[in-house]
Amino acid sequence: MSPSETTEPWPDPASVTHVAALGGGVIGQSWTALFLAAGKSVALYDPDPTAEQRVREAIERAWPVLHELGLAAESRPSDKLTVCDDPRAAVEGADFVQESVPERLEIKDGLYELIEPVLGEATLVASSASGLTLSELQRGWNDPARLVLGHPFNPPHLIPLVEVMGNERTDPRAVPWARRFYETLGKVTIEVMREVPGHVANRLQAALWREAIHLVNEGVASVEGVDTAVSAGPGLRWAAMGPTLLFHLGAGEGGLAAFCDRYSESFNRWWDDLGDPRLDPSTVERLVLGLAQAKGDASVEDLAEQRDALIQSFIMAKR
């Protein structure tokens, strides 16, 4: 029986106390930290024997930020994490399941097949999948009514956005429920209303990166120059507002209509001239070399720390 056919009401998203995290890699460990910070107990399943230690270390690292952002009430990491050696045990009694296993359909299918028979009547499962589409994920289910896409942005404990999607096979209550649940964790959600590869935010990133690479390939600017043009220019504005709203502010009182009237010819000309590069070996080499020149001796770890500190301060400033 699918959730829409039951008479049982779904739990209030704000009252969820116990969740399951399937997969404890880059994304799963970050989700786990966020769920724990929100006071939930978490049952984790990951077949990698080193996963538990990795996840516990990741929680330790994420906790001070979560606390400073007001997302963790306690200053010390919660001890409400249970590590299970079977996915069925992990989902048993869970009000919500976040699946973050590798982006390979046979792995996701195998897991869904195991957990579907033991899920609670109104337990929602959200997949973090970036590349696979919801209809591909649904193939692993007898009844995918309670499966939604709940796509985060890395790292999920820090970046607010979650893209949520259902389709005609999804229980109509599932997407609004998932959005409300994520919002109780401090997330900002959007609904993806039609299936396209890459959902919304990754497509936007891909579109911008395509032109960034084209400009480097054509010798218009260096890798550093293009990156600076984004982070010191429109990137700062995009953290405040989206592109269409920003352009509404770009032509005075007349708003967006006046902006389009004034600049459509320019935009049409620029669009006609945009590039269409591929990540072929010579392009990759050019980007890697260009980045090495730009970043000096800074390690990936140091740069990631710098990025996270800045993102944290932007999030706090926006409140």
161-190 positions binding ligand NAD, by CB under 6 A: none
Query: CB 290 → ligand NAD: shortest distance, Å?
Result: 22
3-class state of residue 97 by DSSP:
strand
Which CB sits closer to ligand NAD, 118 or 221? 118
Which CB sits closer to ligand NAD, 26 or 221? 26
Give the torsion sign (CA, 306, 311, 312, 317). positive
71-130 positions binding ligand NAD, by CB under 6 A: 87, 100-103, 107, 111, 128-130
Of 260, 224, 225, give the one whose Cα is nearest residue 244.
260
Query: CB 270 → ligand NAD: shortest distance, Å?
Result: 30
Exposure of 100 by Cβ count < 10 A (0-12 exposed, 13-18 middle, 19+ buried)?
Answer: buried
Query: CB 24 → ligand NAD: shortest distance, Å?
Result: 5
Dist CA 204 CA 195 (whole Å): 15
Query: CB 156 → ligand NAD: shortest distance, Å?
Result: 7
Buried b (16+ CB within 10 A) or exposed e, 249-274: eebeeeeeeebeeeeeeeeeeeeeee
Query: CB 267 → ligand NAD: shortest distance, Å?
Result: 30
Which CB sits closer to ligand NAD, 3 or 87? 87
Tokens matching residue 188: 């900002």
Write each residue from 35 to 74 as x if it is in contact with ligand NAD (CB under 6 A), else as -, in one continuous string: ----------xxxx--x-----------------------
User: Given candidates 3, 13, 19, 24, which one binds ligand NAD under the rule CB under 6 A?
Assistant: 24
Contact status, residue 54 vs residue 24, Cβ threshold 8 Å: yes
Phi-psi region of 200 (alpha: psi -120 to 50; beta: other; left: phi over 0): alpha
For 205, other C-beta atoms within 10 Å of its C-beta total 12
Which CB sits closer to ligand NAD, 90 or 174? 90
Chain-centroid distance of CA 95 in Å reads: 21
Tokens matching residue 235: 């990137």
Query: CB 309 → ligand NAD: shortest distance, Å?
Result: 19
Which CB sits closer to ligand NAD, 24 or 144? 24
How far from 170 is each of 131, 135, 145, 146, 195, CA to CA, in Å? 19, 10, 4, 6, 13
Phi, psi angles (nearest 5°) of residue 83: -105, 125
Which CB sits closer to ligand NAD, 36 or 215? 36
Which CB sits closer to ligand NAD, 149 or 175? 149
Query: CB 313 → ligand NAD: shortest distance, Å?
Result: 22
Residue nearest to ligand NAD (CB): 25
Q: Choose one: 24-32, 222-230, 269-277, 285-293; the region binding ligand NAD (CB under 6 A).
A: 24-32
Residue 150 engages ligand NAD in binding (rule: CB under 6 A): no
Residues that bind ligand NAD (CB under 6 A): 22-28, 45-48, 51, 87, 100-103, 107, 111, 128-131, 151-152, 154
